[in-house]
Amino acid sequence: MPVRASAIIVAAGRGQRLGSTIAKAFVALGGEPILFYSMRSLAAVPEVTELVVTLPEGDDYRRAAREIASRAAMNKPLKLVEGGGERQDSVRIGLALTCAESEVVAVHDAARPFATAHLFRLCIDTAALSGGAIAAIAVADTLKQVEHGMIVATRGRAGLYQAQTPQAFRRDLLVRAHEMAAANRIAATDDAELVERIGGRVAIVEGSSRNIKITTKSDLEVADVFVAKGESAR
């Protein structure tokens, strides 16, 4: 029987480092807002039965998100909600709106526009079996530990991975992880860390170097090249 999944796109970030007057997810990339590309990919994932998008404050963003969803052929139920002050807050808010009947919840950053439907499906299907799964790539660079501007150690990179999104988890596991974090005021850099803290097992799904996160103007320039060439993460 197919897995039933909900998806959350975190699109509430302001993206000050882009130097834009509008929120990052709504900055133009190849003629469409950055948010468009994640919506288009998720529209092609049959396991996803609903989409929750966390947004910056303002009715203009809600209207824009609905228009983007229409262009992205998003024919699934769409729930829009104002996000929180931090990414973790936004995920918790979005999670509360997901259907309790969903077995798996996939969480994705709108700032990673090149995650494909195939990558979402891999994460969702793997999470259904193992409890959690994240897209990640092996660390390729030499790692240096630095203190006060000076190298104090060189660390081996074997077995180290760079986490990406999408990340997917059994819904009950992700809910418990966020409840624990809120109760104990624990902040984490991604959802996988919270799930790990409650003993959840999280598998690695091979990501892609093209699954970049747009943070700076330079990242946006690289992303524009990818769009022009029709490239994606997988």
Tell me the mean pLDDT per 10 residues along the chain, length 234: 93 84 93 97 97 96 96 96 95 97 97 97 97 96 94 92 97 98 95 97 95 94 90 58
pLDDT of the residue at 103: 97
Q: Which class does domain 5-229 fall in?
A: alpha beta
How many angstroms separate the first and last alpha carbons of the chain?
Answer: 25
Query: Does a cis peptide bond (omega within 30 degrees of 0) precede residue 166?
Result: yes
Specify burial of residue 21 (Cβ count, 10 A radius: 0-12, 13-18, 19+): exposed
Specify burial of residue 56 (Cβ count, 10 A radius: 0-12, 13-18, 19+): buried
